[in-house]
A and B are shown apart, each in its own frame.
Chain A
């Protein structure tokens, strides 16, 4: 099956299409993960500040 697929024309467009799709969805998922990490840092800082506030 693989030789049939590789022998067919326009393979470069297929790879470009799936590459771009993976890139865009990867950016979305990556940005959610990155924002979540930033929020965790914020939360840790808040907890530290709250501890310092309390005598």
Chain B
């Protein structure tokens, strides 16, 4: 049986309940506290989940880089499991980010999709990580698979950096920049040009989705540990038969 220190299980359970509470509070803030924006109306409220899930996936893809580096250093299987789990959950968060962005764009840009530099790079990022899932399942030798996955997860992070940077360096993007300087507004100091309620709700949503993404990834890690343990027991049983 895969055993965990009881304190870790307690912490995971606590994080699960905290995540549920945060989602409830965040929904309250989005739907009842933050006022609709004057021009965009309620479509602007998509922004909270759109940005929050991007930060969630960003954190998970960053953790996957740590997993990749640590695996190459130590060859310990737990780092490979960390990489796999964070990328799988990160992909789902990135998908929410892309789909909600498309739904927001329909009333605001009058189109579901356009090949804007940011939309292009985020699509490349998502496909890069989707390819990670497909390619790693195509390699049968476990040691080769883990090595390949570790190197791939480190290199794939360049697509995340490109996605973050693109709206600040390309003048032809129509994607909004939430804060910080960009080519179209070089003097921006990083402040948000929004009402205090919107800023508070946005910050709380980002925090919520980061906590939720980590909690879901942690559950995914536990699932993978259990799956590998049961697989090894199956092999053992077959060899002894």
In the assembled complex, which residues on chain B have CB atoms less than 8 Å from the CB atom of A5?
A: 31-32, 35-36, 42
User: Which of B75-83, B92-100, B122-130, B188-196 interfaces with chain A?
Assistant: B92-100
Of B49, B96, B107, B220, the residue contacting A32 (CB under 8 A) is B220
Binding site for A on B (CB under 8 A): 30-33, 35-36, 40-43, 45-46, 49-50, 53, 89, 92-93, 95-96, 99-100, 103-104, 106-107, 212, 216, 219-220, 223, 226-227, 230, 233-234, 237, 240-241
Contacts A4-B36, A14-B43 given: A25-B92 contact, CB under 8 Å?
yes
Most buried by B among A13, A20, A35: A13
| Closest residue of B by beta carbon distance from A16 | B103
A52 to chain B minimum Cβ distance, whole angstroms, is 10
Contact between chains at A8 and B99 (CB < 8 Å)? no
30 contacts between A and B (CB under 8 A): A5-B31, A8-B36, A10-B107, A11-B41, A13-B46, A13-B107, A14-B46, A17-B50, A17-B100, A17-B103, A18-B49, A20-B96, A21-B96, A24-B95, A24-B99, A25-B92, A25-B93, A25-B212, A28-B92, A28-B216, A32-B220, A35-B227, A36-B226, A39-B223, A39-B227, A42-B230, A46-B233, A46-B234, A46-B237, A53-B240
- How many angstroms from the CA of A49 to the CA of B107 in the assembled complex? 59
Chain A interface residue number, banded:
20 to 34
Shortest Cβ distance from residue B1 to the other chain A in the assembled complex, whole angstroms = 8
